[in-house]
Amino acid sequence: MMEGENKRPPEAKNKNSLGQRTRNICVDTAVYIILAFFGILWVLPILYLVYTAFRVTPDTGIINTLFPENLQLGFGNFEKLFQKTDFGIWFWNTLKVAACSCALTTLFTLMTAYALSRMRFKMRKPLMNVMLVLGMFPGFMSMIAVYFILKAMGMLNSHLALILVYSGGAAMGYYIAKGFFDTIPRSLEEAAILDGASQWTVFWRVILPLSKPIVVYTVLTSFIGPWGDFIFVNVIINNTTPEKFTLALGLYRLINSDNGAFNTWFTTFCAGASIVGLLIGGLFIFMQKYYVEGVTSGAVKD
């Protein structure tokens, strides 16, 4: 059998090799075409949002045609956003809530992940499994219970309530940070303990300085949440005072204030959404290296 294969003429081998290369080129081309198609579908809404934000519509804000004959672009929608709405107040409220919840969420997540990674105690495995399962359920399932708890405590219509809600379940997302801490050699921790350091000192002085990627990942994911959340803020901040609104709630109320608000404020809404998208996109681009490193380094098993 082997002798028959060795006696195959070179022309047959060349034809097989050429046919294999042709098939590979066809498969690669088809894959690239499919990926390009889905990439265009993903980019189109973003381009339409930015295009609408800069489009000048003197009569009404609604877009009736995608490519009008007389296309005019300008910064009028952004001027209207800052001059005729409370966008600056909404932005400050969201920034304040995002920064506070980010600090608490990062602290809770890293401390929980470190404890589960380094310490061995009774019921550790069942606790990890329960937390992992509970973390899989979406947060809005607890919306009704959270509302009545906050109402009983007199904390509705406050930014403090939003901060507590956003950071309250932070420990459920421990598994990526725990996977990262598992990759840090225990010999560093043991050497510090032999020198008289406590677990708290080891955590702050030894582990955290070596955990920059996972810290950046946790900060980014926890900071972005309040900027796009609408469900909880719409439940907790349920009054009509614009000074309490965050960006998501303020922009929603802007185009739903009355029957004609959508037509009047649609392009202004797109201008506000473009600013938020630029902020979040800029953060991801600036921190992309550490974000990817934190995700990949934390993807290990216990």
Does residue 1 sit in helix, strand or coil? coil
Q: What are phi and psi of 244, to 5 degrees?
A: -95, -10
Residue 285 has pLDDT above 50, yes or no: yes
Q: Which residues make Cβ contacts (< 8 Å) with residue 262, sequence separation at least 6?
A: 61, 62, 255, 256
Gap between the Cα atoms of 246 and 237, Å rounded: 9
Residue 278 has pLDDT above 80, yes or no: yes
**Residue 110 is encoded by which pair of tokens?**
């890293």
- What are the residue ranges of helices labelled H in 55-123? 76-84, 87-118
Domain 86-297: assigned CATH number: 1.10.3720.10
Residue 2 has pLDDT above 50, yes or no: no
Burial, 224: exposed, middle or buried (Cβ in 10 Å; 0-12, 13-18, 19+)? middle
**Long-range interactions of 274-279: CB distance < 8 A, separation 24+:** 274/49, 274/50, 274/53, 275/78, 275/81, 275/91, 276/227, 276/228, 276/247, 277/46, 277/49, 279/227
Rounded mean pLDDT, 258-277: 83
Does residue 55 sit in helix, strand or coil? strand
Q: What are phi and psi of 119, to 5 degrees?
A: -95, 145
Which is higher by pLDDT, 264 or 95?
95
Gap between the Cα atoms of 171 and 228, Å rounded: 21
Q: What is the pLDDT, as a whole number, of residue 104? A: 92
Gap between the Cα atoms of 63 and 57, Å rounded: 8
Per-range mean pLDDT, top range of 11-15, 35-39, 182-186, 283-287: 35-39
Mean model confidence pLDDT for the chain: 80
> Can you give the pTM of this predicted structure?
0.78
Report CA-CA distances (Å) from 229 to 198, 235, 238, 249: 39, 11, 14, 9
Rounded mean pLDDT, 89-103: 92
Which is higher by pLDDT, 79 or 260?
79
Q: What is the pLDDT, as a whole number, of residue 18? A: 66
Which is higher by pLDDT, 280 or 260?
280
Q: Could you tell me how far CA 63 lies from the centroid of its own chain?
A: 29
Rounded mean pLDDT, 106-134: 84
Amino acid identity, position 73: L
Question: How sure is the predictor about 301, in pLDDT bands with cuts at 50, 70 and 90?
Answer: very low
Q: What is the pLDDT, as a whole number, of residue 296? A: 56
In the chain, % of residues over pLDDT 70: 83
Helical (H) or strand (E) element with 40: helix 10-54
Question: How sure is the predictor about 70, in pLDDT bands with cuts at 50, 70 and 90?
Answer: low
Q: What is the pLDDT, as a whole number, of residue 244? A: 86
Question: How sure is the predictor about 229, in pLDDT bands with cuts at 50, 70 and 90?
Answer: confident
Q: What is the pLDDT, as a whole number, of residue 67? A: 60
Q: What is the pLDDT, as a whole number, of residue 72? A: 62
Does residue 264 sit in helix, strand or coil? helix
For residue 55, the cross-strand partners are 73
Question: How sure is the predictor about 36, in pLDDT bands with cuts at 50, 70 and 90?
Answer: very high
Q: What is the pLDDT, as a whole number, of residue 302? A: 47
**Residue 118 is encoded by which pair of tokens?**
């380094």
Rounded mean pLDDT, 10-18: 60
Residue 272 has pLDDT above 50, yes or no: yes
Rounded mean pLDDT, 230-234: 87
Q: What is the pLDDT, as a whole number, of residue 57? A: 65
Q: Can you give the residue ranges of every domain in the chain? A: 2-54, 86-297
Q: What is the pLDDT, as a whole number, of residue 187? A: 84
